[in-house]
Amino acid sequence: MKKQWKVGDLAKLTGLTVRTLRFYDGIGLFSPSSQTDSGHRLYSEEDVTRLYQIVSLKELGLSLEEVKAAMSGSGMQPLDVVNLQMNRVQEDIRRQEKMLGQLRYVAKLLQGKKQVSADEFTGLLQTMKAEYDKPIMDRQNKWEGQLNLLGALLARRGGMPGSKEES
């Protein structure tokens, strides 16, 4: 008999949360291959392999929609994934170059002044940080929205955290 894992055991094995695994199931990205008679999700070795592929694509920076397309076989091809990641790296480089230009500008300002108040200095740094952090905050807000969607989905399905299925 092949090895199978319940959702809690798979979470421990992979380092993902039960909530994440359930969310992936809810959006049709990663579903268990079977269930026990009592309705507990059971994941096979093939499921674990698929989950690690999903995690790898997420680590490359793909959104869940892009991962789903890549995993479907009819969507993104490996070259598409590589091109997408190259575009993201180029965008990160542009942001880093912009930050470097801003730091150079601040350095010139500071060289020309004998004294810069703490308020002026921290104001400049906060402005630069806000511009740099905006894409990160946008991604975080999107993720929070997905987690809220997961909560609503779990509430509808009756699979709230703390249920028997977590183990």
pLDDT-derived band at 148 (thresholds 50, 70, 90) equals: low
**Residues 31, 14 contacting (CB under 8 angstroms):** no
**Claim to verify: residue 82 and residue 68 sit in the same structural domain:** no
Instruction: Return the CATH number at 32.
Output: 1.10.1660.10
**Claim to verify: residue 17 and residue 63 sit in the same structural domain:** yes
- Please state, in angstroms and rounded to a whole number, the distance separating the CA atoms of residues 25 and 68: 12
Residue 89: predicted pLDDT: 87
pTM, full prediction: 0.53
**Residues 32, 42 contacting (CB under 8 angstroms):** yes
Question: What is the full DSSP assignment across 101-162?
Answer: HHHHHHHHHHHH-S---HHHHHHHHHHHHHHHHHHHHHHHHHHHHHHHHHHHHHHHHT--TT
Specify if 93 maps to a domain.
yes
Domain's final residue, options 57, 75, 93: 75
**Claim to verify: residue 67 and residue 107 sit in the same structural domain:** no
pLDDT-derived band at 24 (thresholds 50, 70, 90) equals: very high
**How many domains would you assign to the chain?**
2
